[in-house]
Structure 1
Amino acid sequence: MNPTELLGALRRVRVVPVVTLPHVRHADPLGETLLGAGLPVAEITFRTPAARDGIATLRARHPELLVGAGTVLDRTTVDHAIDAGAQFVVAPGFNPDVVDHCLERKIPVVPGINSPTGVEAAVARGLPLVKYFPAEASGGLRLLDAMAAPYDGMAFLPTGGLTPDNLPDYLSRPQVAACGGTWIASAALLAEGEYEAIGRNARGAVEIATAAATS
């Protein structure tokens, strides 16, 4: 998958569950639940030891699921993500070492930014997509609208503080390719095995995305 293909895939799904796996055993039922809800994507964060094997499990058991690696902070984690089968990398900030290593390894990377300086760094490397993070804490839509205005060709993946309540407003922006959300499959829901609740959350996100596309 190249960066343009990733951007197209994210524009189709519109919402990305951002997931911190408590244990690798949660990966398989999570993938089944998301696919059953019509949301074939997940970003698995490297915030727990389960991330690497969780990504590998999702890729092996659910090949139709688009799987990314999140919270990637260094070159070693990039390599672990690629070895596990991740199809894209997401970082909370713009670390040139991480971004350049991803480009060298030919895996799409979505670095985090919350300023025009970050967007400029992405433009300089030919990236078509950046993560706007932490979206709500940084200024929400007001900052996004102002920051995106000079960069007509840049797409954004807002993440951080998004909920079903503000998701429609973010998705209404043409510069937003998709939005990341932790509420869909939170660590607490996974730890309790609440896959029915995760499925409801995922279906609700799909409904919001569908409504935004037709409004």
Structure 2
Amino acid sequence: MSVLDLSPVIPVVVLDDPDRAVPLARALLAGGVGVLELTLRTPTALESLRRIAAEVPDVHLGAGTCVRPADVHAAVGAGARFVVSPGTTPSLVAAARDAGVPLLPGVATVSEALQALEMGVSELKFFPAEQSGGAAFLAALRSPLPGLRFCPTGGVTAANAPDYLALGNVGCVGGSWLTPDDAVRAGDFDRVRDLAAAAAGLRG
């Protein structure tokens, strides 16, 4: 199954404290969201990946903000089952293929989407979504580029997610609203579970 078909929303998670990783992943799973993208934006991100992979194996674990081939290999070594990048380069595509995992690379223009298609990549992250034309831009791409599917990320919220999910070329959206920083820092994982439950029911 494609990563884009696992959930209407892929939570985009930034974690400073690896001790929060497992309870957060369990809360998302309890809410009905069995996938997450943990970004490599903190020094402890790989440790958080390792803990989730070991202790919450039912979660389809991804690693985001992979910007170099080394990031891809480190993330996969820590247990990531897919990787996400804010952009698309031949070296990232090659690294993901070498590691044997799906890559969801970012694009923001028609030319970038065509370049990804030339590299054999047809499932893409549209980033930053709201700043790059939003749902209207993706709707305009459906006819000329019918073979592409997208996960819009960047400025996507519970309020505008249905606009994206209503599009035929959008499989899911990525968003950080499921794991608010204040809730994670406070250990309020019931709130995370409830936000995940609401997201799991989102349909355009």
Give the TM-score taking structure 1 as reference length: 0.90
Q: Larger helix proportion, structure 1 or 2?
A: 1
**CA–CA separation in structure 1 for the residues paired with 2:143 and 2:106:** 18
1:114 matched to 2:131: no
Q: Give the aligned residue type for 1:88.
A: F
**CA–CA separation in structure 1 for the residues paired with 2:165 and 2:150:** 10
**CA–CA separation in structure 2 for the residues paired with 1:132 and 1:98:** 16
2:11 to 1, 6, 17: 17
- How far off its partner does 1:125 sit? 1.6
- Structure 1 runs (4+) deviating above 2 angstroms are 186-189
Q: Which moved more, 1:103-112 or 1:169-178?
A: 103-112
- How far off its partner does 1:143 sit? 1.3
**CA–CA separation in structure 1 for the residues paired with 2:5 and 2:135:** 18
Q: Give the aligned residue type for 1:75.
A: P
* RMSD of aligned Cα (Å): 1.3
Trace 1:42-53 onto structure 2 (pairs within 5 A).
42-53=36-47
Q: Give the match's secondary structure for 2:201.
A: helix
Q: Which runs of 5+ in 1 are unaligned?
A: none
**CA–CA separation in structure 1 for the residues paired with 2:62 and 2:19:** 18
Q: Which runs of 5+ in 2 are unaligned?
A: none
User: What is the CA deviation profile of residues 94-138 of structure 1, one whole-angstrom value per residue up to 9, with x for unaligned ones?
Assistant: 122222211222211011001111111111121120000000011
**CA–CA separation in structure 2 for the residues paired with 1:153 and 1:205:** 26
Trace 1:1-215 onto structure 2 (pairs within 5 A).
5=1, 7=2, 9-209=3-203, 212=204
Q: Give the aligned residue type for 1:195.
A: F
**CA–CA separation in structure 1 for the residues paired with 2:112 and 2:118:** 10
Q: Give the aligned residue type for 2:99.
A: R
Q: Give the aligned residue type for 1:103.
A: R
**CA–CA separation in structure 1 for the residues paired with 2:157 and 2:145:** 26
Identical amino acids, percent of aligned pairs: 35
**CA–CA separation in structure 2 for the residues paired with 1:117 and 1:192:** 43
Q: Is the 8 A contact 1:22 1:191 kept in 2?
A: no
**CA–CA separation in structure 2 for the residues paired with 1:155 and 1:149:** 12
- How far off its partner does 1:142 sit? 1.5
**CA–CA separation in structure 1 for the residues paired with 2:75 and 2:158:** 29
User: What is the CA deviation profile of residues 25-63 of structure 1, one whole-angstrom value per residue up to 9, with x for unaligned ones?
Assistant: 111101110111011110000001121111111111111
